[in-house]
Structure 1
Amino acid sequence: MTTLTKSAEIEAFLDKIAGIDNDAGVGSRRTKEIVRKIVGDLFDTIDRFDVSENEFWHALNFVAGGAPEFGLWAAGLGFERFLDIRADIKDRAAGIPEGTPRTIEGPLYVAGAPLVESGARIDDGSDPSETLIMHGYVRDVAGHPIPGAIVDVWHANTKGNYSFFDPSQSDFNMRRRVKATQDGRYEFRSIVPSGYSVPPGGSTDLLLRAVGRHGIRPAHIHFFISAPGYRHLTTQINIEGDPYIFDDFAYATNENLIPHVVHQDDPAKIHAAGLNSPYADIAFDFTLPPAAKADDESLSTRQRALAG
């Protein structure tokens, strides 16, 4: 019987992670082979011992000892994506109804963002980028609205920087928990974000360069979606048209998570939105399966930043 880590999908994924599929002569072949072996063995350990998400993050936090870039290593070496692949396989085997696809959390979430009503603005106005209005519904798998669902959203500015980690930004800039209405509708206003790269010259950057890879993420917006009685969702959308959308160093892109961006320039619609200039409009609905057990409703116990 073929194990998951010996499947063609994961073998190809490991080749991509280690840069072995790059035949342009970039990077050290020896380093690529060592990285592939290490990551492959860790993938196999996760699969063989059925390592849970909580166990993985506890172990990583222990090894990291607070090192600031281990979250980037986990994304760039494919561990977060691998955990998602395994979770998806388990869900299918258990017959769990399909909801909005999960994808990686990344290392830049900050707990404690203010809770606001649907329609709130979540940026502080300091970044002159194009205004974004994002809206949609949170529904169950039968299509019924989920009243009061929480849409926890965070994203970067046009420099690719996140508040809290970028001290030049105000507290919780572009971070909010948006409460959906009774009919499950959510809306927030912000700016269109940019992608970012790992810190130049940092440990992640040096490792990726050694295997001939870059450390760039396409523009994206992160979400936690939650409601009592439903499975907690960790996901993100990509901003349509970004040149790195299918070349994400963190492997988070999903074709079902790339909503169309309407660049609205109709004067009547601009006026109706209370704006004075064209804006970007994104409509996207989230679907949550029911929780089978209490733990399904909660975040993993991964270590996260806490403001304050």
Structure 2
Amino acid sequence: MKEDFVSTAPIQTLLDKASGLTETGGDPRLKAIMRDLIEAAMTVIVRHDVNESELWQAVSFLQDGVGEFGLLMPGIGLEHFMDLLMDARDAEQGRGGGTPRTIEGPLYVEGAPLVEGDVTLTDDPDDTDTLYMTGEIKGPDGEPVSGATLHVWHADSRGFYSHFDPTREQTPFNNRRRIKLGADGAYSFRSKAPNGYSVPPGGATDRLMQALGRHGNRPAHVHFFIEAPGYRTLTTQINFGDDPFAADDFAFGTREGLLPVPNRQGDSVFIAFDFTLEKARDADEQAFSARSRATA
């Protein structure tokens, strides 16, 4: 069967009806997007001669893996694709510079304690090295950003995140804080250093990675949101540059400029890292994306 089967009149009529284009109500933008998505799926089915059993096996996989869609999105490159697309849109508008954006991942939890000063993130026992991280939040001209809030979250030494810990041993906001910064934009925090981790063994993401001949490992890393009045909100993370998976992150979170190599001294790990924000053009750029996020 040739792909032009999708272009035949019966299929095009079906697409118009399925996407609501033949109805007066509904959202016109959503209708257009849904039509293209359905048509793209049909084209893939024809191009690769997908049979009925294969189609329903795919549906079963998606149903079984619904709890891991947040991992599947970075694992198949779609979350990184959005970063690259937003970079390209910026370039078209003559914008650029600043700390690179990179994936948020699915493990942020809203409502972490709001704290100030030299902050400790770790609440729970963890027999591992201590991470000390310091730096400044700057604007595009090197000016200190006043009134910024730095959201920080990372895994423990086992690679488990609080709130999502399968052992249920961590308190809800262990290794999670919102840090209110002063006029100089300087930040400083300590925590028990994170380790890299793999996707849940036997889960949907793990099964898909194995079927693709890929691994599901992430390097040690620390996540950040940075928000400040008048500046574009930044979603980013740093990967530890000496981690064996730093250049082979299954989630494609590694980007040039986000790979500091820790200074390791005994049982202490030191990272100095400055962030540069871009000016916001409107209120939307000072807000977070409309993504569903966990609450504790």
- TM class, shorter-length: 0.7 to 0.9
Preserved contact between residue 65 and residue 205 of structure 2 (Cα < 8 Å): no
How far the C-alpha of 1:148 sits from its partner, in A, is: 2.2
Q: Does 2:190 correspond to 1:201?
A: no
Is residue 305 from structure 1 mapped to residue 294 from structure 2 by the alignment?
yes
Alignment partner, residue 81 of structure 1: 80
8 Å CA contact 1:97, 1:141 repeated in 2: no
| Alignment correspondent of 1:293 | 282
Q: Is the 8 A contact 1:225 1:233 kept in 2?
A: yes
Q: 1:263 to 1:94 in 2, by over 3 A?
A: same
Residue 64 of structure 1 and its aligned partner are, at CA, apart by: 7.3
Counterparts of 1:199 and 1:188 in 2: how far apart (Å)?
Answer: 29
What is the TM-score normalised by the length of structure 2? 0.77
1:123·1:174 contact (CA, 8 Å) conserved in 2?
A: yes
Q: CA deviation at 1:65?
A: 11
Secondary structure, aligned partner of 1:92: helix
CA contact (8 A) 1:133 1:187 kept: yes
- Give, in angstroms, the shift of residue 240 of structure 1: 2.2
The equivalent of 1:113 in structure 2 is: 112
Counterpart of 2:244 in structure 1: which amino acid? Answer: P
Instruction: State whether residues 237 and 258 of structure 2, in contact with CA within 8 Å, keep that contact through their aligned partners in structure 1.
Output: yes
SS at match of 1:69: helix
1:66, CA displacement in angstroms? 9.5
1:64 and 1:70 in contact (8 A); partners too: no
Cα distance in 2 for partners of 1:260, 1:209 equals 30
Q: Which residue of 2 aligns with 1:143?
A: 142
Q: What is the Cα deviation at residue 92 of structure 1?
A: 1.0
For residues 96 and 215 of structure 1, the distance between their equivalents in structure 2, rounded to whole angstroms, comes to 34
Distance 1:149 1:66 in 2: 37
Instruction: Tell me by how many angstroms 1:67 deviates.
Output: 2.4
Equivalents in 1 of 2:142, 2:257: separation in Å?
17
1:271 matched to which residue of 2? none
TM-fit CA distance, 1:179: 1.4
Superposed CA offset, 1:47-77 (max 9, x none): xxxxxxxxxxxxxxxx979921000110100
TM-score by length of 1: 0.74
Question: Any stretches of 5+ residues in structure 2 without a counterpart?
Answer: 1-36, 42-61
Q: Which residue of 2 aligns with 1:242?
A: 243
> What SS does the aligned partner of 2:257 have?
helix
The CA deviation at 1:93 is 1.1
Structure 1: where are the runs of 5+ without partners?
1-37, 43-62, 266-277
The residue correspondences of 1:124-143 to structure 2 (distance < 5 A) are: 124-143=123-142
CA drift of 1:281 comes to 1.0
Please identify, of 210-219 and 117-126, the stretch whose mean Cα deviation from structure 2 is larger.
Answer: 117-126
Post-superposition CA distance 1:256-295 (Å, at most 9, x none) = 1011311235xxxxxxxxxxxx411110000100000110
